[in-house]
Amino acid sequence: MTDYIQKISIIVSQGSLEGIYPGLIMANGARSEGIEANLFFTFFGLDAINKSRQDHIKLSSVGNPGLHFPTWLGGFPGVSKIMTQYMESKMEKLDIPPIPEFIEMISDTGAGLYACKASVDLFGMSKDDFIDQLDGIITVGDFYQLASGGQMLFT
Amino acid sequence: MTTASYVGIEVEVNEEGFFTDPSAWREEMAPIIAKEMGIDELTDEHWQVIRFVRDRYLQTGGGPSVRVLGKTSGVAVKDLYRLFPKGPAKQAAKIAGIPKPVGCI
């Protein structure tokens, strides 16, 4: 018996910059500690692995109290873009890769990348919409089986 | 602080087994430290990474992240994990006798 976490399964359910990064950082961090990791992208989280969308992920500038500015200001055209660029430049300085590079790297670490079948059907997507590193489009039941024997994180 | 003994030399290590004094490290210690972590043989590829992280530490004062290793060591991320399955940045640092790299990436 050991007290260490051996395996983690992380669900990414949101499509914003601040919704996607935490799951990626947790997955990459798990692999760098030698922990087995699987990522399951569902709902808007699918954008993170969508070929044409993963390079255009934006920070939510509306309804995001953490930004500490008025909601009406966040709704102005271009504010989300500016805030996203600001965050991206800060992250690059901290050696945090852009989302497409990060996901490719996480795949290279040996972590599994899976898309939620119900969400793929809901949004009318198919395998061709996703990056080559995707390990499969699977059901919730399949994911639970993959997650067996480990811990789970919902983000 | 605990001590470990490699090739008959006592060295100080932290609770996770990382060297607290990198200057105490000798190349002959590397295969023994590696074996403790389940890496039975150090190939040329392993050594390329081990030397790289040690040089980098001596130059910058910190061990490189996996991203930096993948981009600059000449060994790709996929291969890094093949060589050091329990985490390349961490395992290579331990074998190279330098402190555990800090940072989340």
Query: Which value, in Å, is the radius of gyration of the alpha carbons in chain B?
Result: 13
What is the model's pLDDT at position B49?
96
* End-to-end Cα, chain B, rounded Å: 27
Return the structure tokens found at A77: 């055209």
Q: Please, which residues bridge with residue A40 across strands?
A: A11, A114
CA-based end-to-end distance of chain A: 28
pLDDT band at A125 (very low <50, low <70, confident <90, very high): very high
Which is it for strands A7-12 and A36-41: parallel, antiparallel or unpaired? Answer: parallel
Q: List chain B residues with pLDDT less than 70.
A: none
Cβ-based contacts of A34 with chain B (< 8 Å):
85-87, 90-91
Annotated domain spans of chain B:
30-95
> What is the C-alpha separation between B3 and B10, in angstroms, rounded?
6
Among B1, B102, B104, B105, the active-site one is B104
Is the pLDDT at A1 greater than 70? The verdict is no
Asked whether the beta carbons of B93 and B99 are under 8 A apart, the reply is: yes
Contact A95 B65 (CB under 8 A): yes
**Is the pLDDT assigned to residue A86 strictly greater than 60?**
yes
Interface contact flag, B87 A32, Cβ < 8 Å:
yes
Contact B67 A105 (CB under 8 A): yes
- d(C-alpha A28, C-alpha A21), whole Å: 10
Angle at A37 between CA B49 and CA A138, to 5 degrees: 135
The topology (CATH level 3) of B30-95 is Arc Repressor Mutant, subunit A (1.10.10)
Residues of B in contact with A96 (CB under 8 A): 105
**Average pLDDT of A70-94?**
91
Q: Does residue B104 have an active-site annotation?
A: yes
The CB-based long-range contact list for B49-54 (8 Å cut-off, 24+ gap) reads B49/B73, B49/B75, B49/B80, B49/B83, B49/B84, B49/B88, B49/B92, B50/B92, B50/B95, B50/B96, B51/B96, B53/B89, B53/B92, B53/B93, B53/B96, B53/B98, B54/B22, B54/B25, B54/B96, B54/B97, B54/B98
Query: What is residue A69's predicted lDDT score, i.e. its pLDDT?
Result: 87
In this predicted structure, what is the pLDDT of residue A2? Answer: 60
**Residues B21-34 pLDDT 10s:** 999 999 999 999 99
A97 to chain B, minimum CA–CA distance in Å?
8
Is the dihedral angle over the CA atoms A139, A11, A93, A57 positive or is it negative? positive
CATH 3.40.50.300 fits A7-59+98-154, yes or no: no
Of B70, B85, B87, the CB nearest to A105: B70
